[in-house]
Structure 1
């Protein structure tokens, strides 16, 4: 059976496009509170994994040893926009641990923040590794490697102590051992989990069932602009929730949420990888769970004259949440 339609895009009176996917809402005991679609097939967690990839930074003692701030922990969890508030902080962090941009294994990336991109074009500045949306995560990896006395040249190798520590955290919190893995866009390993296992791990992070959980959530919800950026969806949702949820998107239509007060984790994947659909779906879930106000789950379809010609909206299948 195909996954259900989670999101519709209309034009005029007709549905023009649909996005299928799956969603799992799970509590810390592992009970599935709500599900749609195939929640047992492993999916690559992509950047939604970053809060777990940041756990060794906090739990190994590396953050304390190197004076890592909550702002920097937020950057370790970030898919940032390459704005100066991101790049200057990552550069200062690297300098403090005795590293530089050259030590980052992630490649240069064009900033997604258009004013930054325009300024760079005007000054003929080329994108750097600091602009990579994962530069904070990689700075975290380097910090852990330094603390462990491990090599820094190959910290993304699956057999490196940093990546082993991440795998241990993911496996322990998800109850899913020996996950498949592939190489993410930033060159780091990325693990594939069923949505049920991923949501279970998110719920356990939300409820503090690992020593670094509280600091990860506090950093993300206190500094949502560092987790994403100006005008970004993750930032808007966390600001709207006022500490009730930490959210993290991932490439190819993945979205994750941690809800401390409800003790829940939410994981979803859009089949065709459309981020617009993932944004609508996660916002609707959070609205139905009463952690953000209504109004975030629909978006207008606008033409080049600025006229609204349709909308992006949750499909009927999602209405059963709550």
Structure 2
């Protein structure tokens, strides 16, 4: 359910409201920008000029070096693995087995991963692992696919695999160069934090993040090699959406149902980035309070506002972007909706 407002190029932040019965119980404030590949802001809501950490939503751009360096071809990286390199996966066997096999081709073990360890985020996978008496490894980390891509690039370029997460390592310096190319920003003085998987995360305004994903969506003005790399990642994500996320995830549902019309990636603390290749636009969203439930609904609302969602995509993503709230007895008690404010 979406309440529409005017089509001004800028407006106040919009709200995602949680209702219970006749009353709004909670409200989330959301800022967002929609840009074309020239940098024109098509729509914006709220504060799109101050930097935000894009967290894992930026992974498709971080994965470009895997292709551009020649590492993907040198190590026969499959489309499934390219999607995994962009993933925040749920630690299911399909993900863990793919990471392990990829590292094995590199002559490495799981110990080479510097992303840290946590239990699978998909509950059935975590329960199965615990029932088997096993402990999680770094391969279960939701970022292990991205880190495998980093290691693949470092091995191919004969760089040290130790400390590849450090800000001054060539792997991380290449990421900064890519982000500067796509955002038209000098990031040398940008805010830098440490992400959950221990790599640097850089503060970038939503308007520039939307521009970056618009250029990812429409790389026609980029170099031929970079355009080809963008297209290759888009195809991989669309073909293997389960690798970029996992079971019961919006990223899986939307990238699968859209058939290449939408390439979307969530990030921690309420961030979503989306590229619309046929429309040539990018979307950057931040739920100010950092909640995933808010940014999921916001993504669906903006895509609906743009007019790109058909019935097939709606069927796939509505449980995430138009959620109906039910209690423990499966009684409908409310809903979560987006309202574009005047």
TM range (shorter): over 0.9
Q: CA deviation at 1:147?
A: 1.2
1:98 aligns with 2:107: yes
Does residue 290 (structure 1) correspond to residue 314 (structure 2)? The answer is no
Who is 1:192 aligned against? 203
Equivalent position to 2:257, from 240, 245, 252: 240
**Structure-2 separation of matches of 1:120 and 1:41:** 42
- Residues 1-322 of structure 1 aligned to structure 2 (within 5 Å): 4-178=13-187, 179-208=190-219, 209=222, 210-211=226-227, 212-293=229-310, 294=314, 296=318, 297-317=321-341
Normalised TM-score (structure 2): 0.90
Deviation at 1:3, TM superposition (A): 6.0
The two structures, once aligned, show a CA RMSD in angstroms of 1.4
Q: Deviations over 1:51-107 (max 9, x none)?
A: 111010011111111111111110010000000110000100000011110000011
- 1: CA distance, partners of 2:36 / 2:29: 24
Asked if structure 2 preserves the Cα contact closer than 8 Å seen for 1:6 and 1:314, the reply is: yes
Question: SS in structure 2 opposite 1:39?
Answer: coil
- Tell me how many residue pairs correspond in the alignment: 317
Determine helix, strand or coil for the equivalent of 1:118.
helix
**1:18-52 superposed Cα distances (whole Å, 9 cap, x missing partner):** 00020000000000000000000000000001011
What SS class does the counterpart of residue 90 from structure 1 fall into? helix
Shift of 1:291: 2.6
- Could you say what secondary structure the match of 2:203 adopts? strand
Task: Report the CA distance between 1:139 and its aligned residue.
Answer: 0.3
Instruction: For 1:51 and 1:278, locate their aligned partners in 2 and report how far apart those are by CA, in whole Å.
Output: 19
Structure 2 unaligned regions, length at least 5: 1-10
Runs of 4+ in 1 over 4 A off after TM superposition: none
Matches of 2:340 and 2:215 in 1, distance apart? 29
3-state SS in 2 of match to 1:21 = strand
Asked if 2 retains the 8 angstrom alpha-carbon contact of 1:203 and 1:258, the reply is: yes
Q: Alpha-carbon deviations, 1:144-164, whole Å to 9, x = none?
A: 111111100110111111111
Structure 1 Cα separation of the partners of residues 101 and 277 of structure 2: 31
State the shift of 1:115 in Å: 1.4
Report the CA distance between 1:268 and its aligned residue: 0.5
Alpha-carbon offset, residue 109 of structure 1: 1.1
SS in 1 for 2:237: helix
String of CA shifts for 1:182-215, please: whole Å, max 9, x gaps.
1100011111100011110000011123331111
Contact 1:237 1:283 in 2 (8 A): no
Q: CA deviation at 1:239?
A: 2.1
Normalising by structure 1, what TM-score? Answer: 0.96
Structure 1 gaps, min length 5: none
